[in-house]
Amino acid sequence: MRYHPLTATDRAEMLARIGVPAIDALFADVPADKLLTDLIDLPRMRGELEVERLMGRMAAKNVPASSVPFFVGAGAYKHHVPATVDHLIQRSEFLTSYTPYQPEITQGTLQYLFEFQTQVAELTGMEVANASMYDGSTATGEAVLMAHRLTRRNKAVVSGGLHPQYRAVVETLSDMAEDRVQALPPDPLGTEDILAAIDRDTSCVVVQSPSFYGHLIDLAPIAEKAHACGALLIAVFTEVVSLGLIEPPGRQGADIVVGEGQSIGNALGFGGPYVGLMATRQKFLRQMPGRLCGETVDAENRRGFVLTLSTREQHIRRDKATSNICTNSGLCCLAFTIHMTLLGSAGLERLARLNHEAAIKLADALGRVPGVQVLNDGFFNEFTLRVPGDAAAVIERLAERGILGGLAVSRLEPGRGLDDLIVVAATEVNTDEDRAAYAEALAAVI
Amino acid sequence: MLNDQGRPTRPEGAAPAEGTPAATPWTFTGNRALRVEEPLIFEIGRAETTGVDLPAPDGLAPRLGRLARKAAPDLPGLTEPEAMRHYVRLSRSNYSIDTGLYPLGSCTMKHNPRLNEKMARLPGFSDVHPLQPVSTVPGALDVIADLGGWLCRLTGMDAVAMSPKAGAHGELCGMMAIKAAIRARGETRNVVLVPESAHGTNPATAALIGMTVRDVPARADGTVDVEAVKALLGPDVAAIMLTNPNTCGIFEPEVAAIAEAVHAAGAYFYADGANFNAIVGKVRPGDLGVDAMHINLHKTFSTPHGGGGPGAGPVVLSSRLAPFAPLPFIRLDAGRPVLVETEAGTAPGETPFGRMTAFHGQMGMFTRALAYMLSHGTDGLRQASEDAVLAANYVRAGLADLMTLPFPDHPSMHEVLFDDGFLKETGITTLDFAKAMIDEGYHPMTMYFPLVVHGAMLIEPTESESKASLDLFVATLRDLVLSAKRGETERFTQAPRFAPRRRLDETRAARSPKLRWEKPKPWTAAEAAE
């Protein structure tokens, strides 16, 4: 087998050196009646060519985003990623390295994590960021638990503008931890009164901006009410590119900022792996979950980086840890930080503006289709359409015409009276032709 | 030597700092030929620079209301050549499995086939959206269903929850399924039994869902005593979390009896599958009475560790827990995979406990793991486990006369555990020994884990090493041990001497945490005046 360096001769010599007659002698602790004597009934080994054929056949059954006019967002976004990014993350020394527990020989990983943390803190307008969570949804769940520890309360108030699957993650975690969640009804118009839901029992308020439905939410009054009640504001985003144009949550009073970093550097990949971003204020640092990379010096007084404050983490604190997280999203952080470094402030701002303009043009084009209504006044690169009839059927008919036109809200929120809504995203990859084709097809299918 | 702001770190002409090996003469840049000091992006980038050429916006009036950003973020940009050099230079100060043996016990640093990278990047996998119409991604569902099928067959289990993002997330998923099953029985059980040798994630996971951990003591031979488990079981016990093979590298001989006792007490058996790579094709966890087990695709099935992630932690479930598997899941309908994403899509008997994450899990890891399985086949997977076990025992045989084996009575599985007994009276610690390995070109083994022995050294060579590679590794460790015993203390206490950095001051890092770059303050009053 091409991955196994040991030959039959090697194996025989090694068994002899160990002093056992056969390999199964080393499995002596396995109960004899449980040790398998036959191969498990699955296919035998294959060469590269055969595997490529099998996998290629499966891949070919899917419709890649790049092959069609593409407008699906709702938590994952189709952006162009520079070729440099994918090349660099495949450097052996990055790709095949472990968590940097031996800092003397993993300064490469540690330095990019330090740079990543700085970029995330700067983007979100916060003081400190960690070295990543799994994705935006799990980061949101962790932020709620963190807020509970900080406030010693256990009720989260969740906005109806939060991504429904993020809400489900928070609800599941809270249900299992026996904490409370007050989830407001879905808010497709962006008009909910969340202030009324915040009381002195509230640990945290979870608000997404731009919301799942694309609305830009002014966080400052929510932060003010939360703080007056002794609660924390958790600000969530699913489209990190929006931070290139929108006032960062940290400057609107957020206490913990979490979000999805996929848009920068990472492929759509059918939902993962992505990279969860998490930032907070310095004073909350000790309750933050996840790895942190810090600057220090070595024995010759040269600058270097190490994983630090690990007394928060499971491998030291076990059942008293801030989280059970161990493996995070290392390589996705690298992709993020490389892409962000290539962009810089100037590139990010331009990318954000292109996305915003793509959405403006799309909203105008689709809003002109008879019977179709755009629900948003303000938005970044995503908005909600109301269509006559069943949105899910409209999305299917569009797909039959080769246009992936967005997400029918009813797919994630069935039975909630939202059957005529589509969440649509526009990015820099869309062309005028894509938009025209969408408008034309939409007019034809409704 | 200059630091990263171009300032001398010591007066010109002064002698090298104490501890600098005489063999490494001074250079103007601080560089050492191929080893180049690399500044932070914040020290070399400029906010107006960008390495991405984007078209100019049209200048449409924004629709951001009052929430337009008031000030641009201060993020430096690099052009493509600058970025390329920055990251390639950083990469060169990293150790990796592609550059050397990486014997981190419990972490499983095996070869990462590049075919898997190529497969994961097929546009049909990498460029599909998790929420595009299901009718446009049948091949993606095939991958998830096929991989899930392999995992169930290899483990002898009934069902699999594919969405957990990494091992610890899989543990959480499995324990949530257990909690849901207990609730469904109308019971409350809040105690979880965890052996002392367990990974830290086990007790941390139990605590996350409000359970209390009760420690199970280890026997003198490094295994769990079924009688000790029985003594701890009771109506308040929800589950035992047991790693098998355990973190001492030993297959728990009484595992079937432990499972039986746990079930008899109305509790569930959660297996930490971190060490599944030792037993694939040799014994099936389902045959041992396991109710839930996560599988670290980044360990057993070789998806790259990537400097700390991403992982993937699918959880296989027994028939008792299968109904509680979280959303989303795939149901096979006459052999055709059907994606179930919401409660509304469930069929009778499907009572998911909730949702672990947005979307469908770590698809990019699924494609890599599936390519790995298709390549190996059932015969290759068994061979991989056998070779991993053979390699660990070969290393053990080569070192057992010099190093201290705390548990000599059991054969090792895929990893061999030593303690620091052989370093007694040398003045050298496990940490020193590990750092000396760095100077010899090796990544150290796992140190100080598991907690059940003093100064643990856990070595996992994996099936990816040739015999010659193992022989050199054993010879190197033998030389180090003999050197320690000869009293050549400095070789250890001063190590590493040849790595990109000497030992780093971790106390300082924790005492005054510096977790982001800050603009340097003016150095002197005169400089500030400039």
Please tell me the predicted confidence (pLDDT) of residue B1.
32
Task: Evaluate the CA torsion angle B94, A80, A116, A325 in order and state its sign.
Answer: negative
Contact A341 B513 (CB under 8 A): no
Task: Evaluate whether residue B419 is within a structural domain.
Answer: yes
Contact B52 A351 (CB under 8 A): yes
Q: What is the DSSP letter of A229?
A: T
Do residues B240 and B215 make contact, with C-beta atoms less than 8 angstroms apart? no
Task: Evaluate the CA torsion angle A98, A103, A104, A109 in order and state its sign.
Answer: positive
In this complex, which of A40, A59, A76 lies closest to B378 when CB atoms are compared? A40
Q: Can you say whether residue B345 is alpha, beta or left, with left for phi > 0 and alpha for psi between -120 and 50 degrees?
A: alpha
Task: Evaluate whether residue B59 is within a structural domain.
Answer: no
- How many residues belong to chain A? 446
Which of A59-63, B22-26, B99-103 shows the lowest mean pLDDT across its residues?
B22-26
Walk me through the domains of chain A, giving residue ranges and CATH numbers.
65-80+345-445 (3.90.1150.10), 83-339 (3.40.640.10)
Do residues A186 and A160 make contact, with C-beta atoms less than 8 angstroms apart? yes
Question: Sheet containing A128-129: which strands, arranged edge to edge?
Answer: A128-129, A276-280, A256-260, A232-237, A202-208, A155-158, A180-183
Same domain, B364 and B447: no
Q: Is the pLDDT score of A412 beyond 90?
A: yes
Interval B258-269 mean pLDDT: 98
Same domain, B363 and B240: yes
Same domain, B421 and B498: yes
Chain B partners within 8 Å of A381 (Cβ): none
Chain A partners within 8 Å of B98 (Cβ): 92-93, 95-96
Same domain, B193 and B312: yes
In this complex, which of B4, B283, B464 lies closest to A5 when CB atoms are compared? B464
Interval B504-511 mean pLDDT: 95
* A positions 215-254 inside 8 Å of B (CB): 216, 218, 243-248, 251
What is the DSSP annotation of B145-165? Answer: HHHHHHHHHHHT-SEEE----
Same domain, B262 and B334: yes
Q: Is the pLDDT score of A311 beyond 90?
A: no
Residue B11 preceded by cis peptide, ω within 30: no
Longest dimension (CA), chain A: 82
Same domain, B360 and B458: no
Longest dimension (CA), chain B: 81
Q: Can you say whether residue B43 is alpha, beta or left, with left for phi > 0 and alpha for psi between -120 and 50 degrees?
A: alpha
Q: How far is B395 from chain A (nearest CA, A)?
A: 9
B405 to A25, A292, A328, B57, B417: CA distances (angstroms): 19, 35, 33, 67, 7
Q: What is the DSSP letter of B66?
A: G
Distance CA B402, CA B392 (A): 16
Please say which residue of B351, B372, B393 terminates a domain.
Answer: B372
Distance CA B214, CA B234 (A): 12
Q: Take residue B163 and report the two structure tokens written for it.
A: 């969405």
Distance CA B153, CA B373 (A): 12
Chain A residue nearest residue B302, CA to CA:
A96
Contact B508 A351 (CB under 8 A): no
Distance CA B366, CA B126 (A): 11
Distance CA B465, CA B500 (A): 25
Distance CA B249, CA B450 (A): 10
Alpha helices for B209-340 (secondary structure H) = 226-232, 255-264
pLDDT tens-place string over residues B44-60: 999 999 999 999 999 99
Distance CA A104, CA B431 (A): 13
pLDDT tens-place string over residues B109-165: 999 999 999 999 999 999 999 999 999 999 999 999 999 999 999 999 999 999 999
Chain B residue nearest residue A164, CA to CA:
B358
pTM, to two decimals: 0.96
Written as one letter, the residue type at A32 is: A
Distance CA B308, CA A390 (A): 44
Please tell me the predicted confidence (pLDDT) of residue B3.
39
pLDDT classification of B519: cutoffs 50, 70, 90: confident
* A positions 181-200 inside 8 Å of B (CB): none
Backbone angles phi, psi at B93, to 5 degrees: -100, 20
Same domain, B326 and B299: yes
Chain B partners within 8 Å of A341 (Cβ): 41, 45, 51, 76-78, 83, 86
What count of other Cβ atoms lies within 10 Å of the Cβ of residue B193? 25
What is the DSSP annotation of A200-222? Answer: TTEEEEEEESS-TTS-----HHH
Do residues A101 and A265 make contact, with C-beta atoms less than 8 angstroms apart? no
Strand locations in B298-433 (E): 315-317, 329-333, 336-340, 416-418
Same domain, B360 and B409: no
pLDDT tens-place string over residues B78-90: 999 999 999 999 9
Contact B78 A342 (CB under 8 A): yes
Please tell me the predicted confidence (pLDDT) of residue B10.
40
Task: Evaluate whether residue B32 is within a structural domain.
Answer: no
Residue A82 sits at the chain B interface (C-beta within 8 Å): yes
Please tell me the predicted confidence (pLDDT) of residue B4.
41
Element (H, E) at A306: strand A303-307
Q: Take residue A295 and report the two structure tokens written for it.
A: 């600057």
pLDDT greater at residue B61 or residue B198: B61
Distance CA B147, CA B52 (A): 38
- Mean residue pLDDT of chain B comes to 93
Task: Evaluate whether residue B213 is within a structural domain.
Answer: yes
Alpha helices for B199-254 (secondary structure H) = 201-208, 226-232
Chain B residue nearest residue A391, CA to CA:
B133
Contact B63 A39 (CB under 8 A): no
pLDDT classification of B259: cutoffs 50, 70, 90: very high
A380 to A80, A357, A374, B99, B261: CA distances (angstroms): 18, 9, 14, 45, 58
Do residues B102 and B74 make contact, with C-beta atoms less than 8 angstroms apart? no
Please say which residue of B372, B407, B425 terminates a domain.
Answer: B372
Task: Evaluate the CA torsion angle A280, A285, A289, A293 in order and state its sign.
Answer: positive
CATH number of residue B441's parent domain? 3.90.1150.10
Task: Evaluate whether residue B93 is within a structural domain.
Answer: no
Cβ-Cβ pairs closer than 8 A, A with B, add up to 725
| Burial profile B274-298: b = 16 or more Cβ within 10 angstroms, e = fewer | bbbbbbbbbbbbbbbbbbbbbbbbb
Q: Which domain holds residue B158?
A: 115-372
Residue A432 sits at the chain B interface (C-beta within 8 Å): no
CATH number of residue B293's parent domain? 3.40.640.10
Residue A37 sits at the chain B interface (C-beta within 8 Å): no
**Chain position carrying tokens 């409370």:** A180
Q: Take residue A256 and report the two structure tokens written for it.
A: 């913990």
Chain B partners within 8 Å of A136 (Cβ): 358
**Chain position carrying tokens 């599936």:** B370
Could you give the ipTM of this predicted complex? Answer: 0.98
- Mean residue pLDDT of chain A comes to 97
Task: Evaluate whether residue B530 is within a structural domain.
Answer: no
Interval B428-439 mean pLDDT: 98
Same domain, B184 and B286: yes
* B positions 65-94 inside 8 Å of A (CB): 65-70, 72-78, 80, 83-84, 86-88, 90-94
Contact A272 B361 (CB under 8 A): yes
Please tell me the predicted confidence (pLDDT) of residue A404.
98
Chain A partners within 8 Å of B390 (Cβ): 6, 11, 14-15, 18, 23, 26
Strand-pairing partners, residue B214, are B193
Element (H, E) at A407: strand A407-408
- Specify the number of domains making up chain B: 2
Task: Evaluate whether residue B529 is within a structural domain.
Answer: no
Chain A residue nearest residue B285, CA to CA:
A34
Q: Is the pLDDT score of A357 beyond 50?
A: yes
Residue B406 sits at the chain A interface (C-beta within 8 Å): no
In degrees to the nearest 10, what's the CA dihedral of A157, A159, A164, A166?
Answer: -60
Task: Evaluate whether residue B65 is within a structural domain.
Answer: no
Q: Can you say whether residue A85 is alpha, beta or left, with left for phi > 0 and alpha for psi between -120 and 50 degrees?
A: alpha
Chain A partners within 8 Å of B54 (Cβ): 347, 350-351, 354, 428
Q: Is the pLDDT score of B530 beyond 80?
A: no
Same domain, B405 and B282: no
In this complex, which of B75, B115, B123 lies closest to A119 when CB atoms are compared? B75
Residue A331 sits at the chain B interface (C-beta within 8 Å): yes
In this complex, which of A72, A93, A305 lies closest to B94 when CB atoms are compared? A93
Percent of chain B scoring above 90 in pLDDT: 90
Same domain, B342 and B399: no
* B positions 333-372 inside 8 Å of A (CB): 341-342, 344-345, 353-365, 367, 370-371
Same domain, B216 and B300: yes
Q: How far is B239 from chain A (nearest CA, A)?
A: 15
pLDDT tens-place string over residues B462-482: 999 999 999 999 999 999 999
Please say which residue of B372, B407, B441 terminates a domain.
Answer: B372
Q: Can you say whether residue A415 is alpha, beta or left, with left for phi > 0 and alpha for psi between -120 and 50 degrees?
A: left
Distance CA B194, CA B182 (A): 18
Q: Which of B117, B136, B518 to mutate to test the interface with A (most CBs of A within 10 A)?
A: B136
Contact B515 A293 (CB under 8 A): yes
Q: Is the pLDDT score of B12 beyond 50?
A: no
Task: Evaluate the CA torsion angle B218, B221, B224, B228 in order and state its sign.
Answer: negative
Q: Is the pLDDT score of B31 beyond 60?
A: yes
Of A341, A137, A172, nearest to A258 (Cα)? A137
Contact A298 B501 (CB under 8 A): yes
Q: Which of B360, B452, B515, B518 to mutate to test the interface with A (most CBs of A within 10 A)?
A: B515
